[in-house]
A and B are shown apart, each in its own frame.
Chain A
Amino acid sequence: SQWGEENLQALSIQEGEDVTMNCSYKTYTTVVQWYRQKSGKGPALIILIRSNEREKRSGRLRATLDTSSQSSSLSITGTLATDTAVYFCAANSGTYQRFGTGTKLQVVP
């Protein structure tokens, strides 16, 4: 899992496998975003889930949000080598959002 002072996690899986990454946040939030950052690039928003949603899907991505435990998860089904990246969650905290430390995912062909 990731948030704040937690260390960057690293996962290595085979192409075609499913993977789930977890994130916990420390403050009340109304929306959680998941970003993907590929090597040498800036982060890119891949899915956003609001506090009134328990689950959100976008293609092979599925995000969940549990406001009672202040946690979110991102699942990727049927991973591809191109999914190799660092995945960050972010949660809004008042006037701006804060990012987790990220999960480094390597998908081996």
Chain B
Amino acid sequence: EAAVTQSPRNKVTVTGGNVTLSCRQTNSHNYMYWYRQDTGHGLRLIHYSYGAGNLQIGDVPDGYKATRTTQEDFFLLLELASPSQTSLYFCASSDGGRRFEQYFGPGTRLTVL
């Protein structure tokens, strides 16, 4: 079965702090995604990538950077965290031929004080 892992699972930081969220998939999928989930908004796409070194913007990219270092690893960076970025973050992966069948990780809960 597809496997997507995220770390850390929980993170608390202060306003203006730097945060890096990590995601690894062992599915040999070429697509990877970062979403945030907030009550009333559902899942919203921040960034996605279709391979190492590639980065595409989603619907809510402001305040976020991302980097895909290998096919397996995708990172989300918050360089100046703000309270509005307090959220539940999910990483997902999918195969190029079945791009809309996404496999999700367990999520990272981020709190910015």
Chain A: how many interface residues by the 8 Å CB criterion?
Answer: 23
Q: A64 CA to B29 CA in the complex, in Å?
A: 28
Tally of A-B Cβ pairs under 8 angstroms = 54
> Which of A31, A40, A44, A101 is in CB contact (< 8 Å) with B104?
A44
A48 at the interface (CB under 8 A from B): yes
Given contacts A43-B90, A96-B33, A97-B100, whether A88 and B42 have CB atoms under 8 Å apart is yes
Q: A7 CA to B42 CA in the complex, in Å?
A: 9
Q: A43 CA to B43 CA in the complex, in Å?
A: 10
Q: Bin the interface of chain B by size.
A: 20 to 34
Given contacts A99-B43, A101-B41, whether A43 and B104 have CB atoms under 8 Å apart is yes
A60 at the interface (CB under 8 A from B): no
> Which of B40, B48, B100, B106 is in CB contact (< 8 Å) with A42?
B106
> Do A92 and B104 touch (CB < 8 A)?
no
B48: chain A residues at CB < 8 Å are 96
Given contacts A96-B33, A101-B41, A101-B42, whether A41 and B106 have CB atoms under 8 Å apart is yes
B16 at the interface (CB under 8 A from A): no
B84 at the interface (CB under 8 A from A): no
Given contacts A41-B106, A42-B105, A43-B90, whether A102 and B100 have CB atoms under 8 Å apart is no
Interface string of B31-48 (1 = CB under 8 A from A): 001010001111111001
Given contacts A42-B90, A43-B90, A96-B33, whether A102 and B101 have CB atoms under 8 Å apart is no
B59 at the interface (CB under 8 A from A): yes
A52 at the interface (CB under 8 A from B): no
Residues of B participating in the A interface, judged by any CB pair closer than 8 Å: 4, 33, 35, 39-45, 48, 56, 58-59, 90, 92, 99-107
Residues of A participating in the B interface, judged by any CB pair closer than 8 Å: 2, 7-8, 31, 33, 40-45, 48, 88, 90, 92, 95-102
